[in-house]
């Protein structure tokens, strides 16, 4: 039986859309701009304060602050779609 050469595709991780900078591009640094770092630090401090500055939760506080800041401000207006309203028992 004759054999033939099989071309293998590039590794999937080099083409993944999962990287924040796009497919196949790895970030070169994890440095934050000073303004963003200060904003996250302030929010992480507020979160830690609310939680009573429990020891060992520093990383969780920082990551939560990053998520909140990346998500942007909380929507304070009513949803445009009336079906977006979430009902709870007090609404019944």
Q: Are 61 and 47 in contact (CB under 8 A)?
A: yes
pTM of the model: 0.51
To the nearest 10°, the Cα dihedral for 49, 53, 58, 62? -10
What tens digit of pLDDT does each residue of 36-92 get? 999 999 999 999 999 999 999 999 999 999 999 988 876 666 666 666 555 555 544
CA–CA gap between residue 47 and residue 56 (Å, rounded): 13
Token pair belonging to 83: 């079906």
Q: Could you count the other beta carbons within 10 Å of the beta carbon of residue 16?
A: 12
pLDDT at 9: 59
Q: Could you count the other beta carbons within 10 Å of the beta carbon of residue 74?
A: 6
Q: Which DSSP state fits 10?
A: P
């Amino acid at each position: 039986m004759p054999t033939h050469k099989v071309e293998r595709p590039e590794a999937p991780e080099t083409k993944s859309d999962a990287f924040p900078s796009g497919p196949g591009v790895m970030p070169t640094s994890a440095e934050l701009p000073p303004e963003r770092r200060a904003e996250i630090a302030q929010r992480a401090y507020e979160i830690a304060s609310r939680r009573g500055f429990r020891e060992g939760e520093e990383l969780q506080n920082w990551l939560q602050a990053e998520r909140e800041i990346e998500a942007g401000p909380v929507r304070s207006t009513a949803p445009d779609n009336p079906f977006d309203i979430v009902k709870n028992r007090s609404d019944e």
